[in-house]
């Protein structure tokens, strides 16, 4: 418990901004679709006090899928997403450990299929590099974050996630005009019919970011 304040800025930023980014317009296989739906439910509908156990259970399901299908990049990305989101809810030293595990899974997925899930590897990695503390506590790196988020936009230029996370990055680093343009593009993104709950959650985050940017213009 004594280490938790040391990681408080990281935990707060994760909780506010780093709900990971992997829901796509393309249909998912049934097992991954079930995990995606469960992730959206836990993230947006389960009370914060119950999320820790729910994420742990979901991680166990995703880990089993990764072990059964070690060459499946999508499964690795989804496990990374669950770990990253859980890090924001969990806090403390465990949050950084989960973030490091998520980074390793995303790098493995990138080696298998670089464009998996419409560039979500780059969006999620970019957000991790942006929000995790830098050396010596963690692996955070603003320059790497920017490069990865721009790569995500190359793969998925019109996506709600790729534009939202780039907007968040730009705003936090002082580029309000760029952030405003990016968040408006996120809000203009086409809906994903098979993931209405995830879309509603991300859109609510984007609308909140838009209001924040406008209030500080």
**Per-residue pLDDT tens digits for 105-131:** 999 999 999 988 888 899 999 999 998
Residues 122 and 54: their CA atoms lie apart, in Å, by: 26
Architecture, CATH, for domain 4-215: Alpha Horseshoe (1.25)
* φ and ψ at residue 186, rounded to 5 degrees: -60, -45
Mean pLDDT for all residues in the chain: 85
The residue that leads in pLDDT, 10 or 16, is 10
Give pTM, 2 decimals. 0.84
- pLDDT for 198 beyond 60: yes
pLDDT (tens digit per residue) in 135-149: 888 899 999 999 999
- pLDDT for 22 beyond 70: no
Cβ atoms within 10 A of the Cβ of 33, count? 13
Sequence spans of domains, the chain? 4-215
Q: 3-state SS string over the chain?
A: CCCHHHHHHHHHHHHHHCCCCCCCCCCCCHHHHHHHHHHHHHHHCCCHHHHHHHHHHHHHHHHHHHHHCCCCHHHHHHHHHHHHHHHHHHCHHHHHHHHHHHHHHHHHHHHHCCCHHHHHHHHHHHHHHHHCCCCCCCCCCHHHHHHHHHHHHHHCCCCHHHHHHHHHHHHHCCCHHHHHHHHHHHHCCCCCCCCHHHHHHHHHHHHHHHHHHHHCC
Cβ atoms within 10 A of the Cβ of 56, count? 12
Residues 77 and 187: their CA atoms lie apart, in Å, by: 24
* φ and ψ at residue 72, rounded to 5 degrees: -90, 105
pLDDT (tens digit per residue) in 52-73: 999 999 999 999 999 999 999 9
CA 111 to each of CA 33, 74, 107, 117, 125: distance values in angstroms, whole numbers, following the listed order: 23, 12, 6, 14, 14
Residues 135 and 196: their CA atoms lie apart, in Å, by: 38
**Within 13 Å and on the Cβ side, how many CA atoms surround 214?**
9
Residues 48 and 70: their CA atoms lie apart, in Å, by: 31
């Amino acid at each position: 418990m004594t280490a938790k304040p040391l990681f408080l800025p990281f935990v707060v930023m994760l909780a506010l901004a780093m709900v990971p980014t992997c829901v796509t317009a393309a249909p998912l296989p049934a097992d991954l679709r079930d995990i995606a739906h469960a992730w959206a439910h836990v993230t947006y509908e389960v009370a914060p006090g119950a999320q820790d156990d729910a994420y742990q259970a979901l991680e166990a399901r995703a880990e089993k899928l990764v072990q059964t299908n070690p060459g499946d990049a999508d499964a690795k990305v989804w496990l990374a997403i669950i770990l990253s989101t859980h890090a924001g809810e969990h806090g403390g030293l465990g949050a950084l450990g989960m973030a490091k595990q998520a980074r390793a899974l995303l790098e493995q997925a990138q080696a298998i299929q670089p464009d998996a899930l419409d560039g979500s590897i780059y969006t999620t990695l970019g957000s991790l590099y942006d929000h995790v503390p830098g050396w010596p506590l963690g692996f955070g790196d603003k320059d790497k974050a920017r490069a990865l988020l721009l790569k995500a936009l190359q793969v998925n230029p019109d996506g709600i996630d790729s534009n939202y996370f780039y907007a968040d990055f730009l705003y936090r680093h002082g580029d309000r005009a760029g952030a405003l343009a990016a968040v408006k593009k996120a809000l203009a993104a086409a809906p994903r019919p098979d993931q209405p709950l995830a879309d509603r959650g991300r859109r609510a985050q984007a609308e909140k970011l838009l209001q924040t940017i406008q209030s500080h213009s």
